[in-house]
Amino acid sequence: MLLHTPSSPCLSLNIIKAQSKPDNVLLLSAFKSLVYNQRIDRSLSLLRGNFIPSSFTRNAASTEAGASVMSTETAETDVLKALSQIIDPDFGTDIVSCGFVKDLQIDEALGEVSFRLELTTPACPVKDMFEQRANEEVAALPWVKNVKVTMSAQPAKPIYAGELPPGLQRISSIVAVSSCKGGVGKSTVAVNLAYTLAGMGARVGIFDADVYGPSLPTMVSPENRLLEMNPETRTILPTEYLGVKLVSFGFAGQGRAIMRGPMVSGVISQLLTTAEWGELDYLIIDMPPGTGDIQLTLCQVVPLTAAVIVTTPQKLAFIDVAKGVRMFSKLKVPCVAVVENMCHFDADGKRYYPFGRGSGSQVVQQFGIPHLFDLPIRPTLSASGDSGIPEAVADPQGEVAKTFQDLGVCVVQQCAKIRQQVSTAVTYDRTIRAIRVKVPDSDEEFLLHPATVRRNDRSAQSVDEWTGEQKLQYADIPEDIQPEEIKPMGNYAVTITWPDGFNQIAPYDQLQMMERLVDVPELSPAQAV
């Protein structure tokens, strides 16, 4: 049972009906203008590192010094308005609202403008477009004579809360490549995807999670083919090939393991979590086939960002892949793409489909996975896997490499969307003293009273695990309680820190069941503090 907060006078909104339709139109227009200017003002305050109240700005305009400040602010506003014309195709909003614009500097006397665009990943597929458009939009301002744009990327860091192992604390996105069936080319896809992302400018690592039959030692050719241990920290030092960090049981000097499942799970967890991965934009995990203990352990130990599914055209492959998709769905890991391998080959001017057609598209249609990629049967693709040089490296301009390039762009864009959705799924709005919730993959946004969320904690500290008796009483939580911090926890929940020091885990499913707030008035800045 969920506890509900009774309606409170402070959370009601008096709706004033407009007298006429023209007044409504004017009011809506004025409101849109006010919101847009406030957004620009907030962007300016973030760039300066402080907040300048609007009343101070208006009063300062009456003095000579204030006029100079206003002149600078007007120039900054012009630049930000120009840059706000550039829309990020992944987030669907402008780059100013996304917070990409950094270190804005203006010399009005010389007509010079310089700033930095800090993107979410160095592998951003539209970074060149951003740089070109930023130059054009700012240069079009009548007083601007010279524009200098610097491109950069955000530091690699996970978005999830919780105690992550030290080796995983500086990895932005972890992508699982899974098939749940052996022999379909999963390792080929994982390795070529990793080197494609590296070619796009990202820092990448590959973890070969198959202890029974590791593929990585065959598919790449690092000079050092043995993993080493740091004697001081007792951590594993990954080997490298062409700038990509590699960890595999096959590099541990053991070859292929003969051991029971629980032992394998422990080995995989140790290899993955104690490796010194350093800063990575993407860690690609080559998952072992199946949906058993090993796969579940990996999904629970590692905060997976997304998964790529590999299949072949046969119906039998589809049945096994469906199990894997359902496993990821239960673990709240979004599957962002399907790769159908060994689809066809061309001969005598015709295209042949030796294993039938439709398995990949069936996965896409049945499970709503947004992207499908086809790989042909090519002797060079198989040979490159055996030679130790991935196809994406051996023939970067070929047709197969082009498919992996498209897959890489897809993974970059989808991971960026997921990170954005997860980081903003649950936030606290101090202006209305309410928790905003917009669950990933949902267009619905709703508000919750903080006290309602705190009273509905279902942990052992609030509810007796044996009897189900509610230990946390309604009156124990003050009506004006406010969260101190909200952090994502995987793709399914957030951790909320309250003033009494309690850390509440709030799953999205539970938040969606709570009583919601409607028509909440916005507080003044003084009230919101």
Confidence label for 260 from pLDDT (cuts 50, 70 and 90): low
Statement to judge: residues 58 and 176 lie in one domain: no
Residues 6+ apart with CB under 8 A from 292: 261
Taking the C-alpha atoms of residue 298 and residue 283, their distance in angstroms, rounded to an integer, is 13
CA neighbor of 211 nearest in space, from 324, 310, 290: 290
Statement to judge: residues 401 and 468 lie in one domain: no
Confidence label for 268 from pLDDT (cuts 50, 70 and 90): confident
Statement to judge: residues 107 and 167 lie in one domain: no
Statement to judge: residues 220 and 88 lie in one domain: no
- Looking up tokens 């030692």 gives 217
| Cα Rg of the chain, angstroms | 27
- In this predicted structure, what is the pLDDT of residue 525? 56
Domain range enclosing 443: 430-513
Neighbours of 33 (CB within 10 A): 10
Neighbours of 374 (CB within 10 A): 16
pLDDT, average across residues 138-151: 94
Taking the C-alpha atoms of residue 439 and residue 443, their distance in angstroms, rounded to an integer, is 8
Q: What angle do CA 382, 385, 390 make, to 5 degrees?
A: 115
pLDDT tens by residue, 284-305:
999 988 767 777 777 777 888 9
Report the number of distinct structural domains present in the chain.
3
Paired strand residues for 173: 282
Q: Pick 256 or 358 by higher pLDDT.
A: 358
Neighbours of 225 (CB within 10 A): 15
Paired strand residues for 229: 236
pLDDT, average across residues 493-517: 92
Q: Is residue 528 part of a domain?
A: no
Question: Does the pLDDT of residue 156 top 70, yes or no?
Answer: yes
Q: Pick 53 or 408 by higher pLDDT.
A: 408
pLDDT, average across residues 129-157: 92
Q: Is residue 519 part of a domain?
A: no
In this structure, which amino acid lies at residue 71? Answer: S
Taking the C-alpha atoms of residue 229 and residue 224, their distance in angstroms, rounded to an integer, is 13
Average the pLDDT over each of 13-17, 299-303, 315-319, 453-457 and give the range with the smallest value.
Answer: 13-17
Helix (H) or strand (E) holding 177: strand 171-178
Neighbours of 467 (CB within 10 A): 8
Q: What is the DSSP string of 28-79?
A: HHHHHHHHHHHHHHHHHHHHHTS---HHHHHHHTTSHHHHHHHHHHHHHHHH
Domain endpoint, select from 136, 153, 170: 153
- In this predicted structure, what is the pLDDT of residue 303? 84
CB of 339 within 8 A of CB of 312? no
Question: Does the pLDDT of residue 336 top 80, yes or no?
Answer: yes
- Looking up tokens 């080796």 gives 167
Strand-strand pairing, 235-237 and 228-230: antiparallel
pLDDT tens by residue, 415-460:
998 988 888 899 999 999 999 999 887 888 999 999 999 999 988 8
Q: Is residue 103 part of a domain?
A: yes
Statement to judge: residues 146 and 255 lie in one domain: no
pLDDT tens by residue, 108-123:
888 999 999 999 889 8
Average the pLDDT over each of 128-132, 160-164, 194-198, 371-375 and give the range with the smallest value.
Answer: 160-164
Statement to judge: residues 359 and 220 lie in one domain: yes
Helix (H) or strand (E) holding 282: strand 280-286
Taking the C-alpha atoms of residue 51 and residue 62, their distance in angstroms, rounded to an integer, is 20
Q: Is residue 3 part of a domain?
A: no
- In this predicted structure, what is the pLDDT of residue 437? 94
CATH code assigned at 480: 3.30.2020.30
Domain endpoint, select from 366, 383, 411: 411
179 Cα distance to chain centroid: 22
pLDDT, average across residues 401-408: 96
Give this prediction's pTM. Answer: 0.78
Statement to judge: residues 375 and 461 lie in one domain: no
Statement to judge: residues 230 and 361 lie in one domain: yes
Q: Can you give the length of the chain in residues?
A: 529
- Looking up tokens 């350093």 gives 278
182-203 CB burial, b ≥16 within 10 A, e <16 = eebbbbbbbbbbbbbbbbbebb
Statement to judge: residues 149 and 168 lie in one domain: no
Q: Please tell me what DSSP assigns to residue 212.
A: S
- Mean pLDDT taken over the chain: 81
First to last CA, the chain: 33
Q: Pick 321 or 520 by higher pLDDT.
A: 321
